[in-house]
Structure 1
Amino acid sequence: LMEYVSDTVPTPRPIRTTSAHIFAAAVFPIGNKLSSTRKECAVRLFTFLPGATLCEKEVWPSTCQQWGALMGRLHVATQGLDFPGIRDRWTQWSLLNVCKIDRHLHTVGLNDEEKKLVEDVLLAVQDVLTSVQRLPSGILHGDLNEQNILVRTGRGDEDTEVYAVLDWGDVQWGPRVLDVAVMLTYVVLAPTASRHCYENVAHAMTGYMQHMDLDCSDPSIFKTLICSRLCQSLVLGRYAKLLNPDNDYVLYSQRRGWKVLRKLWKTPISELVSAWNIVLRENGVKEFLTDSTEAS
């Protein structure tokens, strides 16, 4: 998959071994190089792509538009591809499995308010997931967040170019709208340089629609899916921390996640649509209707 996609979308390309395999097995000491404990590990080598991630960087409207465009190009590149191993793959990070986080709600240290909020979102997303499974499906990256894209900076921060995709560890099969919703979740979480974070979401939508249709014309579905991904990230992040106390990476979304989730969940859909339509109108893109959940 990565070899194929890298022909059209920059992504690290796996380098095959001299025997034409994409990985080799080697035995390494565990803990430090003097350790007597040794384990066989899989070793892979990838081409290097220069740049930096968007982690901790403020995003501009142009950044968000390129972010969405990168996902659109990715979906174009994977259209028509079908790998049985991906189609049959199960991952707890798929939005199709978001309701399964309810098994962790009483074990990850949520307070009553946090638990009630997550339960409300999970209740709402059940009907949404039934609806979106009827939408076009394909190969999903699964986690196009700010740490999984590479950027090149120009003379100023506004000149940042989003150009490459990293980390295919969550690749899966499903409705494309789920991949878009995951990407939009991290857009709304990103520190914003100028526009409101809700408007940044619409900028990412316009970038995506330069290459692919959104597949979904109901803005309330996007709101529910984004909130669901926030819940998934917050709950599974805490659960992963319980299993591996030294892994601080899994708590990255906690810094702003709860604040964003509370605010977004309380925001009326009419207010969201109004913010999104400002940007869609500026870019000459089809707007969402303000008096219903159907797009014009």
Structure 2
Amino acid sequence: MKRAKLSDLEAAILVKNRYGLQVLSSRELASYDDLNVHVTVGDGWENANISILSENGYVLKVLNSLDSKKTNFVYAMHAAIRHVSEKGVQTPTPVLTVTGDEFCLEELPVDTESTSNGPETAQFLVRLFHYIPGELLLGKPYTKSLCYEVGQLGGRLDRCLQDFFHSGYENHRRHWSLLEVSNLMTKSEALKSQEDKDLIRDIVASFKQNVVTHFTRLKRGIIHADLNEANIIVLPRNENTHPSLNQHDTGGYAICAVVDFGDSVHEYHVFELAIAICYIMLESTILDPMEAGRYVFAGYVKENPLPELDIDVLKECVCGRLAQSVVYGAHVHMLDPSNTYCLHTTRRGGWQILRRIWHMDKITFLNLLRQPV
């Protein structure tokens, strides 16, 4: 997999030629696999597909070389984004090129850090999105209200997408899909202790027995599948427009938008909830992880109530996602010891949270999540 590298001038020329916009400034945004550049533009434009300029600029998104080949999925992803946007979910929407296309394929320089072959070029899929101002959820204090809103966001997305489908989601599967929990033991050689291996083996067996066997009965639809701290945009809370849950939980931040549908899949709603709970638990510093998860749960089911069968497999799904995080991280680190970013979940107490939940009785786990908020 290769990542593109563009100078400010190269990015400006690309935006001008493909989107008819004059770039005034550009700034690269953090991204692990792809290249994302925030650009501001001048007043004039030469693109009949743009009716009004985005006052906050745009994001030039260049997919990595691997995902650039999945063009049918990109069409599906764009359709899903527009679908939820039309239903009131705040999310950046794609801009059509001067020729009316959803994207363009460009031969661009490769980031030398992503290849050992020296200077080279590759074909990359390029898109332009409206930019939504705000801050990442990353590093913000996870108040009860904010955790609740994360759950609401997941539930609202799944409810909005319930009547949506696109052929690009057929047979589309991602490495991070919860369906891949069944295959986790193939990477268990990266785990150093037998105790860790035994734990993962038990989680995989339980997932296969209690979740996989019920797939045909679980609530299914298109899900975002990656509601983490880097894909949620927040702003300082305005109690008039985004009131807190109660007078004891005022201030902090409120959710204003969701980004990056690159991991969206046609899977199960309980997966969405489990993934959101996991990420909030891992990043929560002022609330106990279970309490933070309780507010995510409450917000989600408020927007998108789940059948009892789905809720009954939530513990296995949460443990499955946590297991993926620690195993994938260990496996990447084994292959590349210089990569310490991949151990983020372990540093955030991923193993401790996983063991705590796994050794908790399922009824106790669900009762804790269902406590009134």
TM-score category, normalised to shorter length: 0.7 to 0.9
In structure 2, the CA distance between the partners of 1:220 and 1:209, relative to structure 1 (3 Å rule), is closer
Q: Which residue in 2 is equivalent to 1:229? A: 321
What code does the residue aligned with 1:164 have? A
Shift of 1:168: 1.3
Q: Larger Cα Rg: Structure 1 or Structure 2? A: 2
- In 1, Cα distance between the equivalents of 2:119 and 2:175? 34
* Alignment length (residue pairs): 276
- In 2, Cα distance between the equivalents of 1:27 and 1:160? 41
Q: Is the 8 A contact 1:233 1:253 kept in 2?
A: yes
Range that drifts further, 64-73 or 176-185: 176-185
- In 2, Cα distance between the equivalents of 1:13 and 1:249? 29
What code does the residue aligned with 2:236 have? T
Q: Is 2:75 the partner of 1:75? A: no
- In 1, Cα distance between the equivalents of 2:337 and 2:131? 31
Q: What aligned pairs does 1:174-253 form with structure 2 within 5 A after superposition?
A: 174-194=267-287, 196-216=288-308, 221-243=313-335, 247-253=339-345
Following TM superposition, where does structure 1 have runs of at least 4 consecutive aligned residues deviating by more than 6 angstroms?
A: none
- In 1, Cα distance between the equivalents of 2:336 and 2:102? 29
Deviations 1:21-79 (A, max 9, x none): 122122222236xx742222221111111112222333111111100001111112211
Q: Which residue in 1 is equivalent to 2:199? A: 117
Q: Is 2:99 the partner of 1:16? A: no
CA RMSD of aligned residues (A): 2.3
Q: Which residue in 1 is equivalent to 2:352? A: 259
Higher strand share: 2
Q: What aligned pairs does 1:44-123 form with structure 2 within 5 A after superposition?
A: 44-106=127-189, 108-123=190-205
- In 2, Cα distance between the equivalents of 1:246 and 1:51? 32
Structure 2 residues without counterparts, runs of 5 or longer: 1-79, 113-117, 239-248
Shift of 1:242: 4.4
- In 2, Cα distance between the equivalents of 1:251 and 1:95? 19
Q: Is the 8 A contact 1:241 1:247 kept in 2?
A: yes
What code does the residue aligned with 1:198 have? M
Shift of 1:261: 0.8
- In 2, Cα distance between the equivalents of 1:277 and 1:171? 27
Give the TM-score, by structure 1 length: 0.85
Q: Is the 8 A contact 2:298 2:370 kept in 1?
A: no
Q: Which residue in 2 is equivalent to 1:138? A: 221
What code does the residue aligned with 1:169 have? G
Q: Is the 8 A contact 1:227 1:261 kept in 2?
A: yes
In structure 2, the CA distance between the partners of 1:71 and 1:31, relative to structure 1 (3 Å rule), is closer
- In 1, Cα distance between the equivalents of 2:175 and 2:188? 15
Q: Is 2:87 the partner of 1:4? A: no
Q: Is the 8 A contact 2:234 2:253 kept in 1?
A: yes
Range that drifts further, 59-68 or 217-226: 217-226
Range that drifts further, 166-175 or 250-259: 250-259
- In 2, Cα distance between the equivalents of 1:15 and 1:242? 40
In structure 2, the CA distance between the partners of 1:243 and 1:135, relative to structure 1 (3 Å rule), is same
Shift of 1:217: 5.0
Q: Is the 8 A contact 1:177 1:215 kept in 2?
A: no
Range that drifts further, 23-32 or 60-69: 23-32
Deviations 1:100-139 (A, max 9, x none): 1111111x24321111111111111112221244112100
What code does the residue aligned with 1:263 have? R
Give the TM-score, by structure 2 length: 0.68
Shift of 1:199: 2.1
Q: Which residue in 1 is equivalent to 2:35? A: none
Q: 2:208 aligns with which of 126, 133, 146?
A: 126
In structure 2, the CA distance between the partners of 1:73 and 1:273, relative to structure 1 (3 Å rule), is closer
Structure 1 residues without counterparts, runs of 5 or longer: 283-296
